[in-house]
Amino acid sequence: MANKKQSGKNEKSKSSFHDADILEEVLQHVGDFGRYQKILIIATMPLGFTFAYVYFVQMFITVTPENYWCRIPELANLSVELRRNLSAPGALTGQWDHCQTFDTNWTKVLETLTPPTGRDPLVPCQHGWEFELSDIPYHTVTTEREWVCDRASYIPFAQSVFFVGSVTGTFTFGLLADRFGRVPAVIVLEFVGSQYRTWVANLILAFSFAIAGITLPWMALYIADWRMLMWVTSAPMFIVILAPWFLPESVRWLVSRGRGNEAVTILKRIERINRTKIPDEIMDEFIVFSNRDEVEDRQSIFSMLRSTKLRNTMIKLIIVFMGCGCVFDGVMRLSNSFGLSFFAVFSVNEVSEFMAIVAVAVLLDRFGRRTSTCGPALICSTLLFIASFVRDGLPRAGLAIAARLFSIISYTGAMQWCTEIIPTPFRASGVSILHMSAYLANVFSPFIVFSDRIWSKLPVVIFNTAAFITTAVFMTLPETKGLPMPQTRADGEKIIREHSLFSKRRKYTENSENNTEIRKLYEENVL
């Protein structure tokens, strides 16, 4: 009875992987990286740029100039340098107090143009602040609303609100994508073959985030107005409204919903554009397969979580995305704390991002997903650990930039890895939950950066710890290099069961147990 049950289970698993193979075979015949897929990549590029600009711009509208001091109305007609030297305690030494000034007779100071003596008591700023716009040559939200000193906590709070919106939107539209259709990033990956998936996934990320990150600092300097910068970077988001009329629906998603006729129509269009032909017997098999009506495929992400293997793997992926997202975002926010040009450090960071994403495209298919993510995450943790012992300046900035480069490699690898683990019916909502987890971690990253008020090295120590934990969890995920994307829940369970770190050991143990049972049956019935 047990053997019969096991046999039935194996047949189901074999059948489900055959389903996934049908889709991969159809893609190979229709062209798994032809003219159609290249047009699709180009069409989704603008969406990547607009998202990257909206993601990054918050840092440029809330950045704080390095030099500011208490405003004294009586000194308003003097030069900037003289106002600062007279009103800011310690100004003549170059290390002045940003948040306090002298409690003195300013009319007398104006008459003598002599700074108050050290005997005068210090009081908090009474009339606001003055900002020297040399390092940040335009007014930001911070300077206009004077979010400094006792109001400095408003900055991380405002930045975290962005990610609160991201958490809500990502979760909502991820669920909608599995119910009503795909999001662009998932669509592109589902239309290309497994051998091109790495390059396609990372090409879009490389061009959108890296180029947007390199150009945005200089756009901010050129525009020099935080309101106009918001308009320039946010208005292009309206093109997303046009996406349903220009982007095709995912064939994999249509098949998972039993809408085979629509899937065939899209495949015919791809045939025409790629100038290819799917053999009749393959197309007939695909039509039969795509029009089947399986209850499992119509269930939500919650039905996937009823599987112990998929649920545990999903929890691990959530931890990975939270760790990667926190380090990726947090180290970037440290750009303004190294005593160097904020705009230059940010641009160099994004150049390293482009290099990192190209490196991912090479590493993932050569060394596999696990090695290509664990290694960089461990190096990132090590570099951040070293940076915690280095003073501010070029050496520490260099270590932080290098750490972020390796964090991007592991994070980008994880973004592709998760799409190869989560089955098709749950992929969009599953990926959305993972990105939502990263955004949830990012809600706290501005506050982690702000914790340098407690101890200057605390942010780096926290990010180092997050990178180390991420490395450990990466090790437990199944290797998916060269495997077809799982089409059903059984496919996902099979990948986890057979391609996890200790799967070979488990397989050897199972085979040994089966051999023992066969030997016992032989001895009982023959000997």
Distance CA 21, CA 134 (A): 60
Instruction: Please report the pLDDT score of residue 16 as a whole number.
Output: 43
Q: Is the pLDDT of residue 505 over 70?
A: no
Instruction: Please report the pLDDT score of residue 296 as a whole number.
Output: 46
Q: Any bridge partners for residue 131, and if so which?
A: 68
DSSP 96: -
Distance CA 423, CA 430 (A): 9
Q: Is the pLDDT of residue 33 over 90?
A: no
pLDDT tens readout for residues 391-402: 877 888 888 889
Q: Is the pLDDT of residue 376 over 90?
A: yes
Query: Alpha helices, DSSP H only, in 368-420?
Result: 369-387, 394-419
Q: Given pLDDT bands bounded at 50, 70 and 90, which one contains residue 68?
A: very high
Instruction: Please report the pLDDT score of residue 1 as a whole number.
Output: 44
Residue ranges, CATH 1.20.1250.20, the chain: 17-64+154-489
Q: Is the pLDDT of residue 430 over 80?
A: yes
* Mean local confidence (pLDDT), 211-226: 93
Report the sign of the C-alpha dihedral through residues 119, 121, 122, 128, in that order. negative
- Least Cα distance to 61 among 141, 153, 133, 145 occurs for 141
Q: Is the pLDDT of residue 278 over 70?
A: yes
Instruction: Please report the pLDDT score of residue 130 as a whole number.
Output: 95
- Least Cα distance to 399 among 439, 448, 340, 441 occurs for 340
Instruction: Please report the pLDDT score of residue 176 as a whole number.
Output: 65
Instruction: Please report the pLDDT score of residue 5 as a whole number.
Output: 43
Range in 290-299, 364-373, 511-520 the model is least confident about: 511-520
Structure-derived torsion over alpha carbons of residues 218, 221, 225, 229, reported in degrees to the nearest 10: 0
The span from the first CA to the last CA of the chain, in angstroms, equals 23
- Least Cα distance to 91 among 69, 61, 109 occurs for 69
Instruction: Please report the pLDDT score of residue 324 as a whole number.
Output: 93
* Mean local confidence (pLDDT), 101-107: 91
Distance CA 319, CA 465 (A): 13
Amino acid (1-letter code) at residue 212: A
Range in 74-83, 124-133, 331-340, 451-460 the model is least confident about: 331-340
pLDDT tens readout for residues 150-196: 999 999 999 888 888 877 877 776 666 656 555 555 556 666 766 67
* Mean local confidence (pLDDT), 356-384: 88
- Least Cα distance to 33 among 163, 196, 207 occurs for 196
Distance CA 303, CA 472 (A): 28
* Mean local confidence (pLDDT), 458-469: 93
* Mean local confidence (pLDDT), 238-252: 75
Token pair 């104006």 is found at 110
In a 10 Å sphere around its CB, with 0-12 CB exposed, 13-18 middle and 19+ buried, how is residue 221 labelled? middle
Q: Is the pLDDT of residue 73 over 70?
A: yes
Name the CATH architecture for the domain at 17-64+154-489: Up-down Bundle (1.20)
Structure-derived torsion over alpha carbons of residues 17, 22, 24, 30, reported in degrees to the nearest 10: 180
Instruction: Please report the pLDDT score of residue 168 as a whole number.
Output: 80
Instruction: Please report the pLDDT score of residue 393 as a whole number.
Output: 78
Query: How many CB atoms sit inside 10 A of residue 232's CB?
Result: 16
DSSP 334: G
Distance CA 331, CA 405 (A): 10
Instruction: Please report the pLDDT score of residue 20 as a whole number.
Output: 54
Instruction: Please report the pLDDT score of residue 10 as a whole number.
Output: 44
Distance CA 136, CA 221 (A): 8
Orientation of helix 280-290 relative to helix 2-30, angle to 10°: 130
Look at 524 and 34; give whichever has higher pLDDT.
Answer: 34
Q: Is the pLDDT of residue 518 over 50?
A: no
* Mean local confidence (pLDDT), 204-219: 84
The torsion angles phi and psi of 90, rounded to 5 degrees, stand at: 85, 10
- Least Cα distance to 47 among 204, 176, 153 occurs for 204
Range in 148-152, 360-364, 406-410, 477-481 the model is least confident about: 360-364
pLDDT tens readout for residues 119-138: 889 999 999 999 999 889 99
The torsion angles phi and psi of 69, rounded to 5 degrees, stand at: -155, 170
Using alpha carbons only, how large is the chain's radius of gyration in Å?
A: 29
